[in-house]
Amino acid sequence: MKSILALWAHPRARSSAVGRMIYERGDFCVKDEPFVGYYYFSDERISERRVDVEPNAKYRFEDILKNVLQEAEYQGIFIKDHAYHIISRADSVNLRHFRNTFLIRHPAQSLPSLYARMPDFTLQEAGYAESFRLFELVRQIEGMTPVVIDADDLVEKPESTIKAYCEAVGIPFIRRALDWSSGLPSALNADWGGWYSHLEKSCGFARQSNPDYVAVEENARTAQAYEYCLPFYRRLYEHRLRIP
C-alpha cells in the first residue's frame, strides 16, 4: 500500500491550490473532494440540499473508500476534501487509512468567498466545527497532534510553508511545484460551476483581491457564521506549523 496523504479543510481555505501544487509534483495521484458525492448525492447522504437529485448508491462511502484504497496499491494518493464531507464516518478504522493533515483560513476571509458562491450555506457547510472535530478525533486516535497549516502562510511564505509541510509529512520538497501554468489539469477540472475560477487563472500561491465580496459584518448569515466559526479557527490555529 502506497501513502494516502489527506488534506482536510473547510471551504474556501485555498485547499485546491495545494492540490494544484501536489499535482505539479508528479508523485501523487490527486483526488479532488472524492467524498463530496457521499455527503450530497448518495443514498446515505447527509445533506438535504440536493433533494431534487435522486440518491445514487454508487456514491456510498464504503465504495468510494474502497476505490481509493485500490488505487493506493499502485501509486501515492493525495486527497483534498472538506472535513464535513466525512465527519459522519470518521472513526479509528477509516481515519487510519490516511496521513491526516489540515488546512485552515481565517473565517473573515473564507466566509465572504463562500457566501458569494453559496449564499444559503449552512453552518456545517462553513466547515469549521467539523474541521476541529476531525482534528480532535485524529489526535486521539493517533496519539499525536496532526499537521495544520494556515492559508495566510501559504500566500505570504509559500516556499517556507510547503517545505515545512513536506518535512512534517515525510515527503521531499520539490521547489518547481510551487509554480504552474494557468488553466486546470483534468484531475482538478470537475464541473464546480465557477468555484475554481481563481485557481484556473493562478500560476502559484498568491493573495487575490475580491472587491465584490461582502465583509462578514455586512450580512446577517456571514455575521452569524463568523461568530460561530471563529472559536474553532482559533483553536486550530494554536496548532499550526510555525513558519519562520
For the record, the C-alpha cell of 61 comes out as 462511502
The pLDDT, as a whole number, for residue 51 is 75
Q: Is the pLDDT of residue 193 over 60?
A: no
Average pLDDT over residues 90-116: 96
Give residue limits of the domains in the chain.
4-237
Q: Cα–Cα distance between 16 and 165 in angstroms, integer?
A: 16
The pLDDT, as a whole number, for residue 126 is 98
Considering only 17-31, 170-184, 197-211, which range has the smallest mean pLDDT? 197-211
Which residue type sits at 203? C
Q: Cα–Cα distance between 55 and 38 in angstroms, integer?
A: 10
Considering only 83-87, 192-196, 207-211, which range has the smallest mean pLDDT? 192-196
Nearest in space to 22 (alpha carbons), one of 114, 109, 103: 103
The pLDDT, as a whole number, for residue 190 is 56
Q: What is the pLDDT of residues 177-192, one digit of tens each?
A: 999 887 777 666 555 5
Helix (H, G, I), strand (E, B) or coil at 204: strand
Average pLDDT over residues 108-116: 94
Q: Cα–Cα distance between 21 and 32 in angstroms, integer?
A: 13
- Name residue 78's beta-bridge partners: 5, 30
Binning pLDDT at 50, 70 and 90, where does residue 194 land? Answer: low
How would CATH label the architecture of 4-237? 3-Layer(aba) Sandwich (3.40)
- pTM of the predicted model, to two decimals? 0.94
Q: What percent of the chain stands above pLDDT 90?
A: 79
Burial 100-135 (b: 16+ CB within 10 A, else e): bbbbbbbbebbbbbbbeeeeebeeebbbbbbbbebb
Q: Are 155 and 238 in contact (CB under 8 A)?
A: no
Q: Is the pLDDT of residue 197 over 70?
A: no
Spatial strand order of the sheet with 147-150 comes to 29-32, 77-82, 4-9, 99-104, 147-150
DSSP string, 118-148: -TT--HHHH-HHHHHHHHHHHHHHHSSPPEE
Q: Are 87 and 127 in contact (CB under 8 A)?
A: no
The pLDDT, as a whole number, for residue 205 is 84
Q: What is the pLDDT of residues 48-77, one digit of tens each?
A: 887 788 999 999 999 999 999 999 999 999
The pLDDT, as a whole number, for residue 140 is 97
Contacts of 207 (CB under 8 A, 6+ apart): 155, 156
